[in-house]
Amino acid sequence: MLVLGIESSSMVASVAIISDEKIICEYTINNKKTHSQTILPMIDEMIKMSEIDKKDIDAIAVSGGPGSFTGLRIGGALAKGLGFALNIPLIHVKTLEGMAFQLYGTKELIVPIMDAKRNQVYTGIYENENEFKVIKEQTPQDIEELIQELNQTGRKVTFLGDGIFCYKDIIEEKCKVEYTFAPSHCNMPRAASVAALGLKMYNEGNYQNASEFLPDYLRVSQAERERNERLKHGNN
């Protein structure tokens, strides 16, 4: 079983191919370039170098959101096109779960935080000591509110994701439980982790047809939000 993983929800462009036993290849660029220009050539390069026939890929695991709306669509549309043309299923991996899944064997709470602007983060709370568990589903949340919630658990926390850079000061100031920031080799979204969780989900029967796949933005567009506000106040 070969799974292609695609992760383009943030500035990180990452692709990987894994089998049941191992990561066969992974290619990650975390250095500001448009995913539209890089991600498919990255897949092509990876497939050539590892001498895999793309027709042998059995499923595609995609980081399905939240994240950059455009980034999610580039990864999603790519997976939809590949899935359709290769006639293989897609696995929708929640972005925050894909990030948390790479930390294994820890007793701590795993808390990925992605910058969602306006003092908000996209976050979720996970455990992965022996078995991956979702303690809190991914959601947009005010960073201070999240810290309060973590303080109440009384448990030690590992933070990861780009939010640890922009909200470091707030965390240092407000976080009362013991915490660490994951080191750089396991603090960003990575396609191998998306593919590995995707493979697990696939084996649990959790996959879909390419035409059914849609990103989960976790936020409506600004225009919808403003319209909903207007409707709520009764002046359309």
Applying CB under 8 A, the residues found at the interface with another protein are 34, 36-38, 40-41, 43-44, 54, 69-70, 73-74, 76-82, 84-86, 210-211, 214-215, 217, 221-224, 227
- Residue with Cβ nearer another protein (15 or 150): 15
CB of 58 to another protein, least distance (A): 14
- Residue with Cβ nearer another protein (122 or 179): 122
Q: Which of 56, 54, 47, 9 is nearest to 26 (CA)?
A: 47
Backbone angles phi, psi at 234, to 5 degrees: 75, 10
Cβ atoms within 10 Å, residue 236 = 6
Rg of the chain in Å (alpha carbons): 18
CB of 41 to another protein, least distance (A): 5
CB of 218 to another protein, least distance (A): 13
Edge-first strand listing for the sheet containing 23-29 = 23-29, 13-18, 3-7, 59-63, 90-93
- Residue with Cβ nearer another protein (153 or 211): 211
- Residue with Cβ nearer another protein (82 or 146): 82
| Separation of alpha carbons 221 and 29, rounded Å | 28
Token digits of residue 31: 């250095």
- How far CA 91 is from CA of 27, 38, 62, 169, 199, in Å, comes to 19, 22, 6, 36, 8
CB of 33 to another protein, least distance (A): 10
- Residue with Cβ nearer another protein (206 or 208): 208
CB of 80 to another protein, least distance (A): 5
